[in-house]
Structure 1
Amino acid sequence: MTKVPEEKDKKKAKTPYTAPALEKGLDIIELLSGEESGLTLSEIATKLSRSTSEIFRMLAVLDRRGYLSTESGRDTYVLTMKLFELSHQHSLVKRLTGASLPIMQKLAPAIEQSCHLSVYHRGKVLVIGQRDSQMDLGFRVKLGSEIDLVDTCSGHVLMAFAEDDMLKQMLQERAGDSFKKSALMARLKKVREQGYESKQSQQVSGVRDISYPVFGYTSEVLAAITVPYLERLDNAPHPTFDQVKEMLSAAAHSISLQLGYKPE
């Protein structure tokens, strides 16, 4: 009987496959994701410790495929929104935006405030849906923004209603350790008990955020819908903070029902 070389097969299975061209392209995309103003060819090559000739070929392909662009009159490369657009084709994101955007479209003008929908993504909060109030003055969070998990209203909601294993993963993936875990856990307990989070923004002075969870058909938290509330000082009648909070709660509930959520 021929002996099967199991150990040899195991070692072979553990050997990582390599695709140098693909890895170079991904290195460029990941590098530019952290460079809001873009980088030049030589800057990219230097940061990646590669030659300008091999980087130039990769940039040309990524530019042609729509992942990168160069501003007129400048030689810097910046990421386009194509990756964000592709992420919207993911079934979960499509379900969330499909259920939420019509409701948010009605909510924003009714409360005279902007609103946005966020999900958890690799240690951060990612804004996947946004609607403006159509008022002359206001504040909004840009679509596609990645914001902090620990210091934001939406981050607190996503963590507060997450299962224990998921919460542990979220905290592990969140970059940095500049927070007190005991204080955070106490805050998350309060958010879960009251069903929402509301606090002064730690990013913008004068903004008071309100955020509610959006649940799926298995009762898992899928997203957070948030209003960055601005108090208006003119004499015209406007929805009060409590009224905005009540309408936001109803909107979150409606979106959850659209996603198949069945309240206990």
Structure 2
Amino acid sequence: MKQTNNNEETAAANERPGAPALEKGLDLLEALADEPEGLTQKALAERVSRSVSEIFRMLGVLEQRGYVRRDPLTNLYALTLRMFELANRHPPMRRLQRAALHTMERLADTIGHSCHLVAMNGDRMMVISQAEPQHRAMGWSVKLGASFALSSHYASARVIAAFQQQDRQLDMVKAMAEHDGSPTTEKIMRRLAAIAEAGNDVSSSEASNGVIDISFPVLNHFNQAVAALTVPFMSHVDGGYQPQDLVPIVGKAAREISVAIGAMIEE
């Protein structure tokens, strides 16, 4: 009987109706976000495939709440800075750290190895979160707050660069090649393409002997990497996991963090 109830609850959840008014409002906001100069009510209705009468009241509410404004001279509707203000109540870096910490602590305890989260900080990389297993007194870890140059020698840098839009990726690759000296941009690009195809980077560390880096991207809602979740694996004398065992576990943790910050990832 309990199994039947669970099945019924799942079916009910799958059939749960949407929120048409909310969807309509989000459609309007997203359409206006693509048009910094603004749109007339008629053009906006056409953009979201609705009638003028359908969006009339919704626009009024959004204007009243300060999310959009209407230019009285041109009748063009445009976004205000209200969305920006809301977003900055929770700075992206802090939001990412909060979303990641619990998952990272659980990951470290499960696998018996430390893990760290690296994000871009200007033109450098920074360790913005770090977790260590509670049941091990010794291990290899990266210091929280550590800052590194953007280099193709770091797995986290390669993973972040591998999951970027083309222009941004090219800028990062040029910076890597300039810093590293020897590798050409073409060589780095080939390496990033392989990482993007695999979905991760599992390779011997080029910074520390005896360490295998297992690194996955943390993605935003545009499927671009905002960070890299990395486990620096060093064999324990008492056995335990092997690197290939950790790949799906680390990947699952990275997906959890990605979903928590808004990524749409299909299992």
TM range (shorter): 0.5 to 0.7
User: Residue 122 of structure 1 contacts residue 173 of structure 1 at CA under 8 Å; is this kept in 2?
Assistant: no
* Aligned residues: CA RMSD: 1.8
Identical columns (%): 31
1:152 counterpart = 2:146: no
- Secondary structure of the residue aligned to 1:158 is helix
- Separation in 1, partners of 2:174, 2:240: 42
Specify the alignment match of 2:228 in structure 1.
Answer: 224
- The offset of 1:245, in angstroms, is 1.5
- Separation in 1, partners of 2:90, 2:195: 29
Q: Residues 182 and 103 of structure 1: is their aligned pair in 2 closer, same or farther, counting only changes over 3 Å? A: same
User: Residue 174 of structure 2 contacts residue 185 of structure 2 at CA under 8 Å; is this kept in 1?
Assistant: no
- Secondary structure of the residue aligned to 2:255 is helix
| Greater mean alpha carbon deviation, residues 218-227 or residues 164-173 | 164-173
User: Residue 97 of structure 1 contacts residue 129 of structure 1 at CA under 8 Å; is this kept in 2?
Assistant: yes
- Separation in 2, partners of 1:262, 1:254: 11
Deviations 1:107-127 (A, max 9, x none): 101010000001122332211
User: Residue 116 of structure 1 contacts residue 141 of structure 1 at CA under 8 Å; is this kept in 2?
Assistant: yes
> With structure 2 as the length reference, what TM-score do the two structures score?
0.61
Specify the alignment match of 1:42 in structure 2.
Answer: none
Specify the alignment match of 2:245 in structure 1.
Answer: 243
- The offset of 1:223, in angstroms, is 0.7
Q: How does 1:23-172 map to 2 (within 5 A)?
A: 91-134=91-134, 135-148=136-149, 149-172=151-174
- The offset of 1:172, in angstroms, is 4.4
- The offset of 1:207, in angstroms, is 0.4
- Separation in 2, partners of 1:94, 1:254: 17
Q: Residues 230 and 177 of structure 1: is their aligned pair in 2 closer, same or farther, counting only changes over 3 Å? A: closer
Task: Give, as a single letter, the amino acid of the residue that structure 2 aligns with 1:255.
Answer: I
1:205 counterpart = 2:206: no
- The offset of 1:218, in angstroms, is 2.5
- Separation in 1, partners of 2:254, 2:188: 24
User: Residue 217 of structure 1 contacts residue 261 of structure 1 at CA under 8 Å; is this kept in 2?
Assistant: yes
- Separation in 1, partners of 2:140, 2:166: 34
Task: Give, as a single letter, the amino acid of the residue that structure 2 aligns with 1:220.
Answer: Q
- Separation in 2, partners of 1:171, 1:92: 24
User: Residue 116 of structure 2 contacts residue 231 of structure 2 at CA under 8 Å; is this kept in 1?
Assistant: yes
- Separation in 1, partners of 2:130, 2:204: 20
1:187 counterpart = 2:188: no
Q: Residue 176 of structure 1: which of 166, 174, 179 is its match?
A: 179
Misfit runs of 4+, over 4 Å: 172-175
- The offset of 1:166, in angstroms, is 1.0
User: Residue 117 of structure 1 contacts residue 226 of structure 1 at CA under 8 Å; is this kept in 2?
Assistant: yes
- The offset of 1:198, in angstroms, is 1.1
Long gaps (5+) in structure 2: 1-88
Task: Give, as a single letter, the amino acid of the residue that structure 1 aligns with 2:102.
Answer: P
Long gaps (5+) in structure 1: 1-88
- Separation in 2, partners of 1:246, 1:138: 21
- Secondary structure of the residue aligned to 2:138 is coil
- The offset of 1:170, in angstroms, is 2.2
- Separation in 1, partners of 2:160, 2:222: 15
- Separation in 2, partners of 1:184, 1:141: 24
- The offset of 1:171, in angstroms, is 3.5
- Separation in 2, partners of 1:90, 1:204: 36
- Separation in 2, partners of 1:147, 1:208: 18
- The offset of 1:173, in angstroms, is 4.5
Specify the alignment match of 1:21 in structure 2.
Answer: none
Task: Give, as a single letter, the amino acid of the residue that structure 2 aligns with 1:136.
Answer: A
